[in-house]
Amino acid sequence: MAAPAVIVWGLAAIVSGPAAEAAGSIESGRRIVEANCSRCHAVSGPGPSPVAVAPPFSTFARKWPIDSLAETFAEGISANHGDVAMPEFVFSPSEIDDLLAYLKSVQQ
């Protein structure tokens, strides 16, 4: 009976190993958002954000499916936050994977 559990555990380790890394690095995504986004957004918790009209990253999935943000990141993200102008950001495919992995990790 213990053998099936070992097999399942082994398969989980294989799936969460290199294949998971190809889907994006949470740590790399964290570095990207800390360098580019943390001046305005709460990037790791429920908030409040430093700029009140900038939504906390932990609430993004309430408004948008996280995976749907990939195209927005690729085309250049900018948003209207009222009187606050958000700079335009354009990310590489690997940075987008990292950003999505990080965003998924902080949803509440």
- C-alpha to C-alpha distances, 100 to 61, 74, 88, nearest whole angstrom: 11, 12, 17
Q: Which helix (H) or strand (E) holds 84?
A: strand 84-85
Domain extent listing, the chain: 25-105
Q: Distance between CA atoms of 26 and 100, rounded to whole angstroms? A: 8
Q: Distance between CA atoms of 106 and 75, rounded to whole angstroms? A: 23
pLDDT confidence band for 80 (50 / 70 / 90): low
Q: What percent of the chain has a predicted confidence (pLDDT) above 70? A: 75
φ/ψ of 92, rounded to 5, equals: -75, 165
Q: What is the pLDDT of residue 33?
A: 95
Q: Distance between CA atoms of 88 and 46, rounded to whole angstroms? A: 24
Please give the residue that has the higher pLDDT: either 106 or 76.
106
pLDDT of residue 9 exceeding 50, the answer is: no
Q: Which CATH superfamily is domain 25-105 in?
A: Cytochrome c-like domain (1.10.760.10)
pLDDT confidence band for 21 (50 / 70 / 90): very low
pLDDT confidence band for 18 (50 / 70 / 90): very low
